[in-house]
């Protein structure tokens, strides 16, 4: 399959391919792919995700120091990022040789690999200095600048003010050689790349990690920008910054991970929850979305250490939340891509608090409204072109449309989704100009 260069759209809000085709980022987190899977296992994982509509895999090149891959090979001499170890094509099990083989498989499947050069713990534990970071970044850029399917994720689950000089050195050294590939920063939970790096020339688009907390679990440290499941709030912040840069939720709550992340006595986030995160953020103006599964992001083995993680990754890649993500991508790509805007002003009455929120995005001749609880809501008509509109209900679980009918495009119209008013009965209202 052809992998095209990715660019920022002219309006600064979205990603497009170099020939103008819209690109909806549908990502999966598989951080340990390179170090824990054989080539055959990696090909299986990538094949399944490709068939499910994913087009970006977020993965860590070096997840800590010291480290090694499943064949026992290390990435650096004496854990020095300025001294990569290359074994050559004759040893495909070498650390970087194995990575290269997986990158080639991904390219053949049309998948982009969003690469974290080194996980945040490396900088946090001061296992790298600025000069090593510069040398490592230059080496990475030289090695991979001609591969078409690369996206750079600077950072790695960390706050940007911890090791900030390291992240700047990496970003600048990579970009000095590789200006073709887009770059962002993968931050710590409930923080945004824009908090530290929005004005950096190496940062092409923003990424935030809304994290894994439910309402009441976030904001314990007194900060006012811990929003729990309200990931759309992070989009709103980035959307209003200047200069304009695209933004995306690079790590929301994973499917089947404990609410709050670490306490395995807590309830687990389910398929309906990961759908809500996806539709809320995209309808708020994000250019795509990254999904994650607890067992996949850490490549859970068949005999997990915790009873609540009883599902191996080979089974988890078929769980319903992941298989349903493609319906959002398909829906968004059905309509004009780069003129889409968030528009909460069309909601008449209360837009809803917490899970009751109704989220709206639209273009000139279409409108999409997502509701998570199946509650009735009202829309101010007349914002779309034409005297009449065609209305549908769209099922995020199946991607199936159900016709409502033709409606007058004037006044205020109430819409009552199918089913009961309850969490997880989510629907998308579609209005199309006639």
Q: Where are the domains of the chain?
A: 6-333, 343-433
Distance of CA 277 to the CA centre of its chain: 10
Note the pTM of the prediction, 2 decimals: 0.96
Report the pLDDT value the prediction gives residue 224, as an integer from 0 to 100. 60
Strand-pairing partners, residue 6, are 17
Please name the residue that has the structure tokens 């509509």. 53
| 6-333 homologous superfamily | Glycosidases (3.20.20.80)
Report the pLDDT value the prediction gives residue 228, as an integer from 0 to 100. 87
Phi-psi region of 156 (alpha: psi -120 to 50; beta: other; left: phi over 0): left
Report the pLDDT value the prediction gives residue 329, as an integer from 0 to 100. 98
C-alpha to C-alpha distance for 233 and 247, rounded to whole angstroms = 12
In CATH, what class is 343-433?
Answer: mainly beta
Cβ-based burial of 87 (10 A; exposed 0-12, middle 13-18, buried ≥19): middle
Report the pLDDT value the prediction gives residue 262, as an integer from 0 to 100. 83
Length of the chain: 434
Residue 191 φ then ψ, to 5°:
-130, 170
Spell out the residues 6+ positions from residue 38 whose beta carbon is closer than 8 angstroms to its own.
70
Phi-psi region of 399 (alpha: psi -120 to 50; beta: other; left: phi over 0): left
Report the pLDDT value the prediction gives residue 253, as an integer from 0 to 100. 96
C-alpha to C-alpha distance for 240 and 178, rounded to whole angstroms = 29
Percentages of the chain per state (helix, strand, coil), in multiples of 5: 30, 25, 50
Q: How far is CA 202 from CA 93, 171, 248, 285, in A?
A: 32, 6, 17, 22
Stretches in the chain below the pLDDT threshold 50: 308
Beta carbons of 161 and 196 less than 8 angstroms apart: yes
């Amino acid at each position: 399959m052809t992998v095209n260069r990715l660019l920022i759209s002219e309006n600064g809000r979205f990603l497009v391919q170099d020939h103008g085709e819209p690109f909806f980022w549908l990502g999966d987190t598989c951080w340990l792919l390179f170090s824990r899977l054989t080539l055959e296992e990696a090909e299986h994982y990538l094949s399944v995700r490709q068939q499910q509509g994913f087009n970006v895999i977020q993965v860590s090149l070096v997840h800590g120091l010291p480290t090694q891959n499943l064949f026992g090979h290390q990435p650096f001499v004496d854990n020095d990022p300025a001294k990569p170890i290359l074994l050559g094509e004759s040893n495909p099990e070498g650390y970087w040789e194995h990575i290269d083989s997986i990158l080639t498989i991904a390219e053949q499947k049309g998948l982009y690999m969003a690469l974290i050069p080194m996980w945040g713990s490396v900088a946090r534990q001061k296992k790298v200095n600025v000069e090593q970071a510069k040398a490592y970044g230059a080496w990475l850029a030289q090695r991979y600048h001609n591969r078409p399917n690369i996206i750079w994720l600077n950072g790695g689950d960390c706050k940007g003010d911890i090791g900030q000089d390291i992240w700047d050195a990496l970003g600048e050294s990579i970009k000095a050689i590789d200006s073709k590939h887009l770059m962002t920063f993968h931050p710590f939970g409930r923080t945004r790349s824009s908090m530290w790096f929005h004005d950096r020339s190496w940062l092409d688009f923003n990424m935030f990690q809304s994290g894994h907390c439910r309402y009441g679990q976030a904001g314990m440290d007194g900060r006012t920008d811990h929003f729990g499941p309200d990931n759309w709030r992070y989009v709103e912040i980035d959307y209003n910054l200047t200069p304009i840069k695209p933004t995306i939720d690079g790590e929301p709550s994973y499917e089947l991970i404990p609410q709050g992340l670490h306490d395995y006595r807590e309830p687990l986030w389910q398929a309906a929850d990961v759908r809500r995160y996806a539709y809320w953020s995209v309808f708020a103006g994000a250019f795509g979305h990254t999904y994650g599964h607890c067992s996949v992001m850490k490549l859970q083995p068949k005999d997990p250490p915790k009873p609540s993680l009883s599902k191996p990754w080979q089974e988890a890649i078929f769980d319903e939340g992941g298989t349903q993500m493609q319906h959002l991508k398909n829906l968004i790509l059905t309509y004009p891509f780069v003129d889409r805007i968030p528009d909460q002003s069309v909601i008449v009455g209360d837009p809803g608090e917490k899970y009751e929120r109704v989220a709206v995005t639209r273009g000139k001749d279409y409108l999409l409204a997502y509701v998570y609880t199946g509650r009735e809501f009202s829309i101010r008509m007349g914002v779309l072109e034409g005297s009449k509109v065609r209305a549908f209900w769209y099922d995020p679980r199946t991607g199936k449309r159900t016709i409502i009918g033709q409606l007058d495009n004037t006044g205020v119209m109430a819409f009552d989704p199918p089913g009961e008013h309850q969490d997880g009965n989510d629907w998308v209202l579609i209005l199309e100009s006639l």
